[in-house]
A and B are shown apart, each in its own frame.
Chain A
Amino acid sequence: MTRYVLRRAVEMLATLLVASFLVFVVTEFSPGNVARKTLGAFALQEQVDLLYQKLHLNDPLLVRYVRWVGVLTGVEADPLQDPALGLGFKDPRGDRYFGNFGYSTLYKAPVNDVLWDRLGNTALLAGLAFAVIVPLSLVLGVLAGMRAGSALDRAVSTLSIIMTSIPEFALGVLLVAVFVVAFGILPGTSPLDAHSGWSIASQLVLPVAVLAIYDSGYVARMVRASMTEVMAKPYVRTAVLKGLPRRQVILRHALRNAMIAPFTVILLQINWLIGGVVVTELVFAYPGFGRMLLDASLFGDVSLIEAATLIALFVATATQLLSDIGYRLLDPQARG
């Protein structure tokens, strides 16, 4: 098992390396000149040309990629911070350190100052939502799948379809209408500002609720399908006809096998919660990671886009690794 984990971890690093190259290529080749984006629309063409020269932007792609990795790993100094350019970009960490993602032109601050706060906010939201989604959908899915075709199954299945099919923004607006406008017991926006008159906890309730309701329906359906399948397996019949009480049949024989298939799906929700909940963040003015990535893309903030995409890729490959390891723990046959 240890060897397997090590091998997979090395594979994950290789994947990240290849992905980082693709990210670099795609962002650097996006429409617009990197020098122009850095200086803004009002800079003179001479200034842009000068920066273009200084940044060696006409070097071959591979050379520029190696230089970018050099800056990221702290081997080379960030050329944008060169005082000779007169841009006034300053990073208190210096211009040469490991994990230097460069300078965000949108926020006029080092990427590291912007990125981690936003990621932290999103991790909080995602973590809370995940903590609701997993138990809720497991309970719903298992209850429904336990007796396929029963009244409970039909009720849960219908409920989960309704939950999944309401779009996030509609659900957000609906919840705001009820809890903010009608009852006035929750804030309508969640800027995570402690001085807004609402506690941070109360600001988190609605965004978490939207994500949990929207996603639980989907995951519950996955769990239900798997559970139904397992309940029809001959080994569940064996367990019943051994004389085991129904509780034991479900908990000991059905549940673990029914978890194998949805496990990957559940972990994939982490990816979605980190990078894909822009709509919810927008509806509640939540200062999250997804919204930051959207703003950076619209503005053309190359360094920030690259950094955020790399982080999202890291999260995706890490959950993949986690789900592969979990799969092997759940399913003895995968262990060989």
Chain B
Amino acid sequence: MPLLSIRDLRVEYRTSRGTVAAIPEFSLDIEAGESFGLVGESGCGKSTLILAIMGYMGRNGAITRGQILFEGQDLVRAGAEELRRIRGGRIAIVYQEPATALNPSMTIGAQLVEVPLAHGMSSMVEARRQAAHVLADVHLPDPDSVMRRYPHQLSGGQKQRVVIAMALLANPALLLLDEPTTGLDVTVEATVLDLLNELRAKYGTALFYISHNLGVIAQVCERIGVMYAGKLVEDAPAAGLFRTPRHPYTRGLLASLPRSGADKRGAPLLPIPGVVPAAGRAPASCGFLSRCGHAAAGVCDAAVVPLLLAGPGHLVRCARWADLPEMAAPSPVARADAVAATDEIVMEAHDLTRVYPVGRRQLLANDRLTLAARRGHVLAIVGESGSGKSTFAKVLAGLDTATGGSLSVLGKEVAARPARRRAAALVAAVQMVFQNPDGTLNPSHPVGWPLARALHKFGIARDRRAAEARVSALLDMVRLPVSLRHALPRQLSGGQKQRIAIARAFAGNPELLIADEPVSALDVSVQAAVINLLLRIQEEHRTTLVFISHDLGLVRYLADEVVVMYLGQVMEAGPVSALFEPPYHPYTEALLSAAPVPDPQIRTTRIRLEGEIPSPLNVPPGCRFATRCPRKFGRICDDTPPPLREAAAGHLIHCHIPIEELRRVPPVFATTGPAPAG
């Protein structure tokens, strides 16, 4: 008997426009001790499913059909007290945002002991002892001090460990994980994923992991399901799913991601056309019908497609799966640095420093940054949060000013010049696209308004007619229908809003575009489309793109040069081809090791960073990275700032370790399977 057996489950929501089936019919079995991952884009019903298992759907949601059998008991029909005993006792859940999942006004200890006390333990002393024990299990140093603290006194990674500890306290048989690493840095994410694997081995807990990130799922799960429009469309062992994906949607998800080794001059990203249909609006026969390139009339729209057996343990809900050609493995492309190093330098920072006074102390956000970008190149800046990437972007865009050093843009010195003191032409020439498209569009103005306003501000369109023509041209440039200019931001999808943001940035024909995590809030398939669009426009206009990102797969795909930042300083800089191969700076090596790769065949050599990035109020005196460096070799790292070493032309590494020694480090990415990769 499976541990969890969901049978013909139907979940409906009452809305102002009638009842909507968020999950029309869903069946799934999970065995004891198994790790199952469920992927799908937002709106596919993943979170609804998790909350339905827990019987927590709010006042307007209800399970209208089916069973959820857990250890033989039907949770749909369980009474309040039975449900209470199972919640937190036999099934526990780890949430997406640990910051909001913990009660801000209770100490960690008080929140932890509630779990054993609610599930049969009567001794407070024993409960505290057990809580401290589990905190040690999730590798939180000094559990007793953590228990006395409040959530806001812990970092994001520590909070997620506390939430995991809370879930494990009653030793549940099933652990539900709802995007537990979204919002965490890659380095922290990697340690959390390691922790989950370790705890599963130790406690034998079954994992039900939902995520939109195939890379993360590949690290943790033995079996993977793909969910689309409330239905399971594919269910296969992890290796089989990545090697021979059968469902067109699964293939679409994989093709949207940059495969390792590929770059923008090789295979383009292949986004899935269209958007996820609203809950209850998907075609009944096959939910993916309207977006599928292989749909055939009379086959796909005739009857409801069942799950079909496509191989050992491999189920697929596609009537035509046997007719589809095998998905081609990405062919390796000889990486050529097509842009010439002789191109004109449009942006150059030299010893750029931004210090914020905090009381009597100094917060070093940017510390003697030296970097440059050439015309038409894509310069990617990577690093954990707190490394000073966004501060640099703000100084560059004129939203903040530097406190030292120089920054020249198009030959003009702007380090101490905020945007309001820059010439209009220079403001138009340096534009920015932000991470969150929801926050950057005024909700009460139609989306054509910011475009027209930008044109007016930059003096590009003198009269109304010229402005309208130009707005239409801009919308056309980002492949949006011109009619959309009168729509309000809330009527647009996330991808459409980000296209508007890009159109606005290009209104003044910028020479330098700063994009701060422009796609990290978007779904995978939408991400691919926006990246393709951005790169096409950038190449056409020979715009210089400063691309800030934590997604190393994406950076490898689109960057020409990469700068790795840590605690306000540059650790390593160089052409993209050099950066992803040894010699690495140890920090770059750690970042690459942490990056989740959506392919179980590519084993990453793992080095893990312990602890957190130090506070920029109190930076280490020698090498900034010395406190966490796995390759630190002596006092010199702590005491002396490292020298600048040139590994190759234009490839700079700030490290005490000689280049020859760094060159001997094995590459992080190595292929174990037959598929060729870079």
- Closest chain A CB from B205 CB (angstroms): 16
The interface on chain B, measured as residues whose beta carbon lies within 8 A of the other chain's beta carbons, has a size of 29
Q: Is A7 an interface residue (CB 8 A)?
A: no
* A241-B54, A243-B89, A333-B150 given; A234·B95 CB < 8 A: yes
Complex: A237 Cα to B106 Cα, angstroms: 15
Q: Is A113 an interface residue (CB 8 A)?
A: no
Q: Is A256 an interface residue (CB 8 A)?
A: yes
A245 closest partner in B (C-beta)? B84
Does B104 lie within 8 Å of A241, measured CB to CB?
A: no
* A234-B95, A242-B166 given; A332·B88 CB < 8 A: no
CB contacts under 8 Å to B, within A276-293, are none
Q: Is B105 an interface residue (CB 8 A)?
A: yes
When distances are taken between beta carbons in the complex, the residues of chain B under 8 Å from A252 are: 106, 114
Does A235 lie within 8 Å of B88, measured CB to CB?
A: no
Q: Is B87 an interface residue (CB 8 A)?
A: yes
Interface hub of A242, A252, A253, A330 (most chain B Cβ within 10 A): A242
Q: Is B380 an interface residue (CB 8 A)?
A: no
* A242-B115, A244-B118, A245-B84 given; A237·B104 CB < 8 A: no
Complex: A235 Cα to B89 Cα, angstroms: 17
A233 closest partner in B (C-beta)? B100
Interface size class of A (residues with CB under 8 A): 20 to 34
B90 closest partner in A (C-beta)? A243
Complex: A61 Cα to B610 Cα, angstroms: 68
CB contacts under 8 Å to A, within B96-110, are 97, 100-106
Does A243 lie within 8 Å of B115, measured CB to CB?
A: yes
Candidates A149, A245, A253, A330; contact of B103 at CB < 8 Å: A253
Q: Is A238 an interface residue (CB 8 A)?
A: yes
CB contacts under 8 Å to B, within A215-254, are 233-235, 237-245, 248, 252-253
- Closest chain A CB from B390 CB (angstroms): 23
Q: Is A331 an interface residue (CB 8 A)?
A: yes
Does A332 lie within 8 Å of B152, measured CB to CB?
A: yes
When distances are taken between beta carbons in the complex, the residues of chain A under 8 Å from B87 are: 240-243
* A243-B88, A248-B114 given; A234·B105 CB < 8 A: no
Candidates B88, B105, B106; contact of A242 at CB < 8 Å: B88
A248-280 interface bits toward B, Cβ cutoff 8 Å, 1 = contact, 0 = none = 100011001100100000000000000000000
Candidates A234, A235, A243, A333; contact of B86 at CB < 8 Å: A243
Complex: A108 Cα to B152 Cα, angstroms: 60
When distances are taken between beta carbons in the complex, the residues of chain B under 8 Å from A235 are: 100-104
Does A333 lie within 8 Å of B103, measured CB to CB?
A: no
When distances are taken between beta carbons in the complex, the residues of chain A under 8 Å from B114 are: 239, 242, 244, 248, 252
Interface hub of B95, B100, B105 (most chain A Cβ within 10 A): B105
Q: Is B93 an interface residue (CB 8 A)?
A: yes
A244 closest partner in B (C-beta)? B118
Does A333 lie within 8 Å of B93, measured CB to CB?
A: no
When distances are taken between beta carbons in the complex, the residues of chain A under 8 Å from B85 are: 243
Does B118 lie within 8 Å of A241, measured CB to CB?
A: no
Candidates B56, B86, B95, B105; contact of A240 at CB < 8 Å: B56
* A243-B84, A245-B118 given; A332·B100 CB < 8 A: no
Q: Is B420 an interface residue (CB 8 A)?
A: no
A332 closest partner in B (C-beta)? B150
A255 closest partner in B (C-beta)? B105
B86 closest partner in A (C-beta)? A243
- Closest chain B CB from A173 CB (angstroms): 42
When distances are taken between beta carbons in the complex, the residues of chain A under 8 Å from B150 are: 332-333
Does A253 lie within 8 Å of B106, measured CB to CB?
A: yes
Does A331 lie within 8 Å of B84, measured CB to CB?
A: no
- Closest chain A CB from B267 CB (angstroms): 40
Complex: A252 Cα to B152 Cα, angstroms: 18
Does B93 lie within 8 Å of A257, measured CB to CB?
A: no
Does A333 lie within 8 Å of B118, measured CB to CB?
A: no
B93 closest partner in A (C-beta)? A241
Complex: A73 Cα to B56 Cα, angstroms: 65
B96 closest partner in A (C-beta)? A234
Does A241 lie within 8 Å of B105, measured CB to CB?
A: no
A150 closest partner in B (C-beta)? B59
CB contacts under 8 Å to B, within A308-336, are 330-333
Complex: A248 Cα to B101 Cα, angstroms: 17
When distances are taken between beta carbons in the complex, the residues of chain A under 8 Å from B89 are: 243
Complex: A39 Cα to B296 Cα, angstroms: 104
Candidates B84, B95, B152, B170; contact of A238 at CB < 8 Å: B95
When distances are taken between beta carbons in the complex, the residues of chain A under 8 Å from B103 are: 235, 238-239, 253, 257
CB contacts under 8 Å to A, within B53-104, are 54, 56, 59, 84-89, 92-93, 95, 97, 100-104
B58 closest partner in A (C-beta)? A232
When distances are taken between beta carbons in the complex, the residues of chain B under 8 Å from A238 are: 95, 101-103, 163, 166
Interface hub of A243, A248, A257 (most chain B Cβ within 10 A): A243
Complex: A233 Cα to B105 Cα, angstroms: 13
Complex: A12 Cα to B106 Cα, angstroms: 31
When distances are taken between beta carbons in the complex, the residues of chain A under 8 Å from B93 are: 241
A254 closest partner in B (C-beta)? B103
Does B56 lie within 8 Å of A331, measured CB to CB?
A: no
When distances are taken between beta carbons in the complex, the residues of chain A under 8 Å from B105 are: 256-257, 260, 330-332
* A234-B95, A243-B84 given; A331·B104 CB < 8 A: yes
Q: Is B119 an interface residue (CB 8 A)?
A: yes
When distances are taken between beta carbons in the complex, the residues of chain B under 8 Å from A240 are: 56, 87
Interface hub of A238, A240, A253, A256 (most chain B Cβ within 10 A): A238
When distances are taken between beta carbons in the complex, the residues of chain B under 8 Å from A241 are: 54, 56, 87-88, 92-93
B107-137 interface bits toward A, Cβ cutoff 8 Å, 1 = contact, 0 = none = 0000000110011000000000000000000
- Closest chain A CB from B150 CB (angstroms): 4
Complex: A217 Cα to B111 Cα, angstroms: 34
- Closest chain B CB from A247 CB (angstroms): 11
B559-577 interface bits toward A, Cβ cutoff 8 Å, 1 = contact, 0 = none = 0000000000000000000
- Closest chain A CB from B121 CB (angstroms): 12
- Closest chain A CB from B601 CB (angstroms): 37
Complex: A257 Cα to B119 Cα, angstroms: 25
Complex: A331 Cα to B86 Cα, angstroms: 32
Complex: A260 Cα to B119 Cα, angstroms: 30
Complex: A98 Cα to B324 Cα, angstroms: 97
B164-184 interface bits toward A, Cβ cutoff 8 Å, 1 = contact, 0 = none = 001000100000000000000
Complex: A330 Cα to B105 Cα, angstroms: 7
Does A257 lie within 8 Å of B115, measured CB to CB?
A: no
* A332-B104, A332-B152, A333-B152 given; A237·B56 CB < 8 A: yes
- Closest chain B CB from A255 CB (angstroms): 10
B176 closest partner in A (C-beta)? A241
A-B contact pairs, 29 of them (CB 8 A): A234-B95, A234-B100, A234-B101, A238-B95, A238-B101, A238-B163, A240-B56, A240-B87, A241-B87, A241-B93, A242-B87, A243-B85, A243-B86, A243-B88, A243-B119, A244-B84, A244-B88, A245-B84, A248-B118, A252-B114, A253-B106, A256-B105, A257-B103, A260-B105, A330-B105, A331-B105, A332-B104, A332-B150, A333-B152
Contacts from B to A (Cβ < 8 Å): 54, 56, 59, 84-89, 92-93, 95, 97, 100-106, 114-115, 118-119, 150, 152, 163, 166, 170
A-B residue pairs, 9 tightest by C-beta: A243-B88, A242-B88, A234-B100, A243-B87, A332-B150, A235-B103, A243-B118, A333-B152, A238-B101
Given contacts A333-B104, A333-B150, 5 further A-B contacts (CB under 8 A): A235-B101, A235-B102, A241-B93, A242-B166, A331-B104
